[in-house]
Amino acid sequence: MCGIAGLVFTDGSQPSVNQVDRLASALKHRGPDGEGRLNVGSINLVHRRLAIIDLKTGDQPFEDGDGISLIANGEIYNYRELSKQIPDGLLSSKSDCELPLYLYKYHGLGFTEHLRGMYALAIYDLKKDLLVLARDPFGIKPLYYVENERYFAFASEPQALISADLASRTPSGARCRELLNRQFISGRFTAFTDVKRILPGETLVVKKGEIIDRLCLPALPGHGPRGEDVAGLESRLDDALADSVNLHQRSDVPYGMFLSGGVDSSALLAMMARLNSSPVLTYTAGFDSKSVPDERGLARSVAEAVGATHTEITVTQQDFWRDLPAIAEALDDPCADYAIIPSFALARAASKDVKVILSGEGGDELFAGYGRYRRALRPRFLGGRKSRLRGLFDGADILRELDALPNFNSERHRSTVGLKRSRLQTVQAVDFVDWLPHDLLIKLDRCLMAHGLEGRTPFLDRTLADFAFCLPDKAKVTVGSGKWLLRSWLSEQLPVAKAFSRKRGFTVPVGEWMETRRQQLGDLVAAQPGVKELCKSGSVGPLFQIRNKKAGQAAWVILFYSLWHRRHILNLSSDGDVFDCLSSSVER
């Protein structure tokens, strides 16, 4: 896990040393263990390293001696298997990230088809004068770019491009409204007008600062369910999960896992405990509140059952007020998912012991755990409805303008869904294009990288996905429950996890916390420049009376946005707590 950046001017000129320094400095938190740079041909490459595998000889950039160079952020989990395909004497290290360089050399732009892992990488081919940028098919690792008539630049985070004066802080009004209405921003565009995302699974080919080709490696198979018989599926799931978890544990530094007590993280723990000879390190968060479910007891029982070394933290209201400005700073590509609060706190705690965390992201999407999947399958007269048709502010007289939600009939969405998939697979595939990479995985990346931690997601593995996504629908969804096969497997492997108990969902008591300071908070948030630009006069303060769940959610999203805007658009410091920061931007 690292930070990467690069810059090429269309006229062949070179950037100033100061500009390259600022790119490197802005990514230091992603790679505190070292820095590498390369100026070859017309391009400058920058790498900040978080050393996980091959601590001694794995420094980047890598070069093949024949004009091909590489920098990468991520982990190639099948690197040991791939290294057997490389002739003896060519590899200069034992690093997992050196392998894509030679795969590109031998297979050209199809090199990503051979990779199992999470990655955002850049390859420069001097002889062809080509820059190749590639991102893993699930979008676990981020990569952003700026393209204009003067230069092409890329980086692991938008703020690095902005810090180096390669992009402006000018916000996109439409994207910011989407953030408020959906809690995240989908697709290629970001909250910054100049900055775009390389999409999950995309490979960009750049020549002389211009994108000349785009290829896409899908995360999910394009066909429907395989067979209808569920007999024998638990054994196959066991093999597939063991394979993925085993690969995701490859590390030369200590690792642990986030344990919520839910099905996904309990399943990972059950498999990790089987595969490890020493106790697994587990980390769980709870809240100083009685208004939300507390999963710490169940998580503790699960951890004790497998002999894990278990750490619990309590996230308090004081933590909320203190940490939220720093969290908003870390989320330069913003998502207003309130799970960012415990994720940030857990990362801080885990970073004292480990450098790698395994997490259960992707389990619900892959095995169909969300209730909205079951609702989408029901007839309308039985309460069925399509997913995500309405936004948080639809029907509310709050936003000055209200854009339609993104159109999922786009060419990219059609090509991702495919015509041969079942109805259930179709709604799952929407989340793999939209919700998963642009909310859950951004949250995981930024909250962990803010503390120098690498986050790994064993459910988001191409081999496991090929098996799980093509399960018969009835192996995923039954009456009143999703993830049937995973639950059935877990109930056998770890009965204490109570795999078939009703899913309560993960909730953070942000409404309760905000209500204790509602008058002061409402006045301050309503007065923020970014909020006044998007919201109608007099509409924001009343939200902080928190009269119902929807008002509380709306108030939370606007609070997060106000802190994000003041840090990333106004470029104001995040020092101090929520009230210090909001007061300082009003006083300007």
Q: What is the pLDDT along the chain (588 residues), one digit of tens a residue?
A: 699 999 999 998 989 899 999 999 999 999 999 999 999 988 999 999 999 999 999 999 999 999 999 999 999 999 999 999 999 889 999 999 999 999 999 999 999 999 999 999 999 999 999 999 999 999 999 999 999 999 999 999 999 999 999 999 999 999 999 999 999 999 999 999 999 999 999 999 999 999 999 999 999 998 889 887 788 899 999 999 999 999 999 999 999 999 999 999 999 999 999 999 999 999 999 999 888 888 899 999 999 999 999 999 999 999 999 999 999 999 999 999 999 999 999 999 999 999 999 999 999 999 999 988 988 887 664 455 566 667 899 888 899 988 777 765 454 455 455 558 899 999 999 999 999 999 999 999 999 999 999 999 999 999 999 999 999 999 999 877 899 999 999 999 999 999 998 766 678 999 999 999 999 999 999 999 999 999 999 999 999 988 788 889 999 999 999 999 999 999 999 999 999 999 998 766
pLDDT at 411: 41
pLDDT at 505: 66
Do residues 214 and 462 make contact, with C-beta atoms less than 8 angstroms apart?
no
- For residue 449, what are the CA distances in angstroms to 51, 327, 350, 384, 452? 13, 11, 12, 39, 5
Please give the Cα distance from 308 to 356 (Å, whole number): 16
Backbone angles phi, psi at 125, to 5 degrees: -105, 105
CB proximity list for 379: less than 8 A, separation 6 or greater: none
Give the pTM.
0.96
Tokens of 14: 């070179």
Task: Give DSSP secondary structure letters for 444-494.
Answer: HHHHHHTTT-EEE-TTS-HHHHHHHHTS-HHHH-BTTBS-HHHHHHHHHH-
Q: Which CATH superfamily is domain 2-216 in?
A: Aminohydrolase, N-terminal nucleophile (Ntn) domain (3.60.20.10)
pLDDT at 587: 61
pLDDT at 481: 87
Q: Which CATH superfamily is domain 233-497 in?
A: HUPs (3.40.50.620)
Domains 2-216 and 233-497 share a fold: no
What is the residue extent of each domain of the chain?
Answer: 2-216, 233-497, 510-587
CA dihedral defined by 241, 246, 251, 255, rounded to 10 degrees?
60
The 3-state DSSP class for residue 308 equals: coil
pLDDT at 144: 98
For residue 438, the 8-state DSSP code is I
Q: In what order do the strands lie in the sheet with 34-40?
A: 34-40, 43-49, 2-9, 151-155, 144-147, 196-197
pLDDT at 216: 96
User: Could you count the other beta carbons within 10 Å of the beta carbon of residue 252?
Assistant: 14
